Structure 1
């Protein structure tokens, strides 16, 4: 039926300008035709449009060309004049995405700022209510959330550009929509590109960026590492060192100086229980409350100190073997009984042979001489002899101190003690007399005062000092052992040393120049004062010395300890003259290795004792160090942040590409992820009379205006004709 003329004109103009709504798209149902009320009856937009197909503008039933032209147009497309947006307008369309991207940059820079502020800092310095990991997690979440909007809206906008002015499969709409909403959809969109002829590389890039965005959190958490660290502390750290050793017990008579009781104990301890290393021996005297300290490092050196060195040599090739005839002397034994008497026969090396008179007959007499193979080690302090067939198995003597010993340039002597030993080494597990024959072994060792430079540190309570270099000292005409260095290290700094002819404020140590060798080797005795032309003056810290009184006392103590000591085997028993000789004998396993260990231990003990004794110059008696506190620190692994930076750069490039692509196309709508442009009907001239919420012209391309119109349209989901449809009705006041 035809509507009245007055109503027909109005309704026709309105409805012709409002094409039927789309049937629908996947994910979002399309609304059913709008319901209108007119004259007490309800009409759908489709019914009214169908009724008006036969109604002309003037009320006739014949159509005109304009109406036919509109009917031939594609469903839902209304021709409008193309309006191009400027770059400013295009950017305003993407303002929220750009703001979101800016938030991502700000959060990323905030992460860098927080990490940089606490790089290497103590964990205890973090005073926040939550941990630094929690702060980074919050900022990383903001970073990731802000990245989601630009990439999802960009993919959604590419969906409309993909469909614009070209026929595409309707399922593409669903693929793009899924890609903009989740990881699985993004994976499907990327996978689809390998099978499609027409590819959307930009959309695939967006889907890839979306997947990368989801896994940024672990990289930020991995960037923060809490581990053990060390930092400087204000506690005192020092290690004992000494330039001049002057300790002495005093003089009993003219120049007969005695070593101190502490040094006497140290000598005994060094021979009986030699330390394994100098580091272990000096460690109890090291001050380091934190257990971790450094003591300077200048050219690999921490400090220099007076020390004691040693040298051992194998003299076995110098042993002479001689068959020596010994004469016996017979003396009466007062302790014997009247019925029998005995005689004592003195053999070599103090060996006594007793021959009882009752054991002899009238036709026999005690032997008066015999010949035995004898080992001889010639020495300046007296030869050492030992019977090859039995008796003592180790003999030790000290050599004279007025002989040349390890000369250094014009100086004839540089050792404070030399001792030699001759030993008879028995074969192990011998089974008969021939197998049990002994072999001779001889050696000589010297203790040589020296100046050493060390590299020292303490870590986790374990002190370690490593020798870097050494300089041997010589005995001067005043019987002091000393050496002046060209440069030395003082408090971690190398200092050059230059002598002067006269004493000055800085050069206060008188250093004797060498005298002729015969004067240097004179026995210890009163010595006239050093003449000015026979000496120079050095800064005290440039000279290392065992001064005269201490030198004489220490040398006397060492010579007394080593002179004329031996071990004698009597059957299965080993009888040493003192305990340290047994230690040197090593249960018959004496060798150059054991001898070196023995002498090294003694030298180390002497050096430690000298270093423990306070120097006259208090300023150089200890090497100061730096205490290091062990703590828990924040360590930043910056390379993990590169992943977030890459994602941020890719997202920026993607958004710029989408904005540029949208700007140069004729598609001006900013629908992005919204479908309101397809759901809200366009308006005709009489839409107000029909109380219909609709939109017309280019306003349909503005998502904001579409949302405002959509707020006044009610929809419901209903099943019509076996299909679910959106029924759209007008809101009434």
Structure 2
């Protein structure tokens, strides 16, 4: 028999400092003593049970009863160096095993119970749960108030201070279990032989960020050592320094507009335009074609000073900030208006040369369109000047069987371009024709709009649906009828309503005549004087689904535009634009010899916008009787009034 030898300074007082740092090693297994054989335990098993008791005493000393001195104390174990001490140790461990049987609360050697774990680690568990609850509370608060105005809380409480409080509690609750875990991992670390310097590293790491940083540095310099949990705990301790700054940087405050509970937000819209002052039940054939002054002014303004989209719309917005939009985008309301289209038809221009009989030496060039009937519709160029631009209504025959528009006109203009590479004898200025054809149609469009600081802006969504000429409904015999359209749906205040047949004589309904193939052919406005075709079958639809421009209104528009958009721009001097004779809009179209489809579109777009504004602002002209029975939602679109507030914005994904 032999006792285990321990390498220590007691065994060798003259040992060098390097030897003092040697790891503690036990000698190989020795034979058992008679007392150990009687107890049934080997020395190795007794030593293991003793270490177990020490371990449990460290974790939960309150659960062990030391009053009877049956538990193993560190100072009661003599130096293991003689058989006598081994016998005493065996007796002590035997009594300790009996004590363990008396205390069922002490965990058995085979494992740890849930009750025992809870009794030891309940503070750390509570701190971990509290940390999770704090971070959850922060995320919930930011999710609720993201993009919302500042809540009306007491003055001492703000969103920033509340987040700061939760952050402080989260940080404290997070550090406690991490620090305790690092302290416990210190003992797990020494289950194997390690350098004694690691004891200081673990102690310092459990005390704060600097010690944790040193522990992480030690792991980096010793890659062969794998202490993942300890490294994670050290990293969390260091990273906790940035929690406060990160939580405050997550929140920012800025201005925003919130829907107000009160106020007025309205913009005009209409399904019908009957702007002529003439009575609807008068004899249309005998009545003169007239146009109300507001529409006439709108046409003039559109030609002389083209407005921007929505610039002339009359709106109501009590807060100077309103919206007529849907959250998902798209149109918000439908309304009757004016659409236009212009096509480049330069390839159809024809050039001819001829000479005057009275002056054979004078050459005259002439450009014209195939349907031009006289010289007033052509461009004549002589050596002493001539015609630079002509405007004429498009002949109705060019539309063949298609539905003609309210008005269409042709533009034929000369364009000038310098020729820098031309040789001697070749004119330095090249003359070329430009031709365009534009049409004006009533149409149904979908709009969304906003009012910002009292400025109204409007946007058209999608393409407009053109109204077509329909049969007369007031006993007319001529083919000069109302423009009308029956749509499948209508957009009212952000809600799309399907157009379905309703009961005859229903409130706010209109009867329409359909051909046998189902095409809309004729409109019937509930007047007793209306005669309709017998070969049609009739259905009744909501008034909001039927769009109409009555006969006198569109004819008045046509006559006014025919008057203004007919004429020429001329010059008395060849190749000189200093003195031009013609209308203001004619000269704008000529653009000093740079006429193009772009200049034409700009002018006609302004004309259409100006006419649209008048149709929506005053759909019934001076007649109050026509509009008194129209539902309110067919007169105006109602939006949301916005109120400026300070809102909460969250930076990053929360």
Structure 1-normalised TM-score?
0.60
User: What is the aligned partner in structure 2 of residue 278 from structure 1?
Assistant: 309
Shift of residue 388, structure 1, vs aligned partner? 2.9
Shift of residue 382, structure 1, vs aligned partner? 5.0
Q: Write out per-residue CA displacement over residues 157-206 of structure 1, whole angstroms, 9 at most, x where no aligned residue.
A: 45466668x88755444333222222232233344455498876655554
User: What is the aligned partner in structure 1 of residue 412 from structure 2?
Assistant: 422
Choose which of 238, 248, 255 in structure 2 pairs with 1:221: 248
Question: Bigger CA drift: 469-478 or 319-328?
Answer: 319-328
User: What is the aligned partner in structure 1 of residue 463 from structure 2?
Assistant: 469
Q: Is the 8 A contact 1:381 1:399 kept in 2?
A: no
Choose which of 162, 165, 174 in structure 2 pairs with 1:135: 162
Q: Write out per-residue CA displacement over residues 116-168 of structure 1, whole angstroms, 9 at most, x where no aligned residue.
A: 5534431253434033222222222222223333333443345466668x887
Q: Write out per-residue CA displacement over residues 204-258 of structure 1, whole angstroms, 9 at most, x where no aligned residue.
A: 5543443344443334334434345553333333332221111124499932132
Structure 1: stretches of 5+ with no match in the other structure: 1-68, 329-366, 515-519, 521-527, 641-733
What is the CA–CA distance in structure 2 between the aligned matches of 1:539 and 1:558, rounded to whole Å? 33
What is the CA–CA distance in structure 2 between the aligned matches of 1:326 and 1:501, rounded to whole Å? 72
Q: Is the 8 A contact 1:100 1:149 kept in 2?
A: yes
- Structure 1 residues 200 and 253, CA, compared in 2 at 3 Å: closer, same or farther? closer
Pair 1:265-2:255 in alignment: no
Pair 1:184-2:210 in alignment: yes
- Structure 1 residues 180 and 374, CA, compared in 2 at 3 Å: closer, same or farther? closer
What is the CA–CA distance in structure 2 between the aligned matches of 1:595 and 1:250, rounded to whole Å? 34
User: What is the aligned partner in structure 1 of residue 333 from structure 2?
Assistant: 303
User: What is the aligned partner in structure 1 of residue 534 from structure 2?
Assistant: 533
Shift of residue 594, structure 1, vs aligned partner? 1.6
Q: Is the 8 A contact 2:256 2:647 kept in 1?
A: yes
User: Where does 1:181-580 land on structure 2 (aligned, <5 Å)?
Assistant: 181-193=207-219, 195=222, 203-234=230-261, 235-250=263-278, 254-275=286-307, 277-279=308-310, 281-282=311-312, 285=315, 287=317, 289-296=319-326, 300-323=330-353, 372-379=364-371, 382=374, 384-389=377-382, 390-399=384-393, 403-404=396-397, 406=399, 412-428=402-418, 434-436=427-429, 438-457=431-450, 463-478=457-472, 479-497=481-499, 504-508=506-510, 530-533=531-534, 536=538, 538-570=541-573, 572=576, 573-580=578-585
Q: Is the 8 A contact 1:476 1:512 kept in 2?
A: no
User: What is the aligned partner in structure 2 of residue 623 from structure 1?
Assistant: 637
Q: Is the 8 A contact 1:566 1:576 kept in 2?
A: yes
Q: Is the 8 A contact 1:325 1:371 kept in 2?
A: yes
User: What is the aligned partner in structure 2 of residue 175 from structure 1?
Assistant: 201
What is the CA–CA distance in structure 2 between the aligned matches of 1:436 and 1:611, rounded to whole Å? 47
Question: Bigger CA drift: 381-390 or 501-510?
Answer: 501-510
What is the CA–CA distance in structure 1 between the aligned matches of 2:241 and 2:606, rounded to whole Å? 66
User: What is the aligned partner in structure 2 of residue 590 from structure 1?
Assistant: 595
What is the CA–CA distance in structure 2 between the aligned matches of 1:440 and 1:208, rounded to whole Å? 79
What is the CA–CA distance in structure 2 between the aligned matches of 1:71 and 1:316, rounded to whole Å? 117
- Structure 1 residues 432 and 144, CA, compared in 2 at 3 Å: closer, same or farther? same
Q: Is the 8 A contact 1:457 1:463 kept in 2?
A: yes
What is the CA–CA distance in structure 2 between the aligned matches of 1:125 and 1:89, rounded to whole Å? 48
What is the CA–CA distance in structure 2 between the aligned matches of 1:397 and 1:167, rounded to whole Å? 104
User: What is the aligned partner in structure 2 of residue 50 from structure 1?
Assistant: none
- Structure 1 residues 174 and 373, CA, compared in 2 at 3 Å: closer, same or farther? closer
User: What is the aligned partner in structure 1 of residue 618 from structure 2?
Assistant: 613
Shift of residue 286, structure 1, vs aligned partner? 6.6
Which of the pair has more CA radius of gyration? 1
What is the CA–CA distance in structure 2 between the aligned matches of 1:299 and 1:512, rounded to whole Å? 35
Structure 2-normalised TM-score?
0.66
What is the CA–CA distance in structure 2 between the aligned matches of 1:284 and 1:426, rounded to whole Å? 42
Shift of residue 608, structure 1, vs aligned partner? 2.1
Q: Tell me the C-alpha RMSD between the 2 structures.
A: 4.3
User: Where does 1:87-102 land on structure 2 (aligned, <5 Å)?
Assistant: 87=113, 88=115, 91-102=118-129
Across the two proteins, how many residue pairs are aligned to each other?
513
- Structure 1 residues 477 and 412, CA, compared in 2 at 3 Å: closer, same or farther? farther
User: What is the aligned partner in structure 1 of residue 525 from structure 2?
Assistant: none
Choose which of 600, 604, 628 in structure 2 pairs with 1:599: 604
Shift of residue 265, structure 1, vs aligned partner? 1.6
Residue 575 of structure 1 aligns to a residue in which SS? coil
Question: Bigger CA drift: 287-296 or 542-551?
Answer: 287-296
Shift of residue 604, structure 1, vs aligned partner? 2.2
Shift of residue 512, structure 1, vs aligned partner? 8.9
Q: Is the 8 A contact 2:330 2:461 kept in 1?
A: no
Question: Bigger CA drift: 477-486 or 458-467?
Answer: 458-467
User: What is the aligned partner in structure 1 of residue 42 from structure 2?
Assistant: none
Q: Is the 8 A contact 2:317 2:451 kept in 1?
A: no
Q: Is the 8 A contact 2:366 2:379 kept in 1?
A: yes
Shift of residue 595, structure 1, vs aligned partner? 2.0
Q: Larger relative contact order (C-alpha < 8 A, sep ≥ 6)?
A: 1
- Structure 1 residues 396 and 286, CA, compared in 2 at 3 Å: closer, same or farther? farther
Shift of residue 296, structure 1, vs aligned partner? 3.8
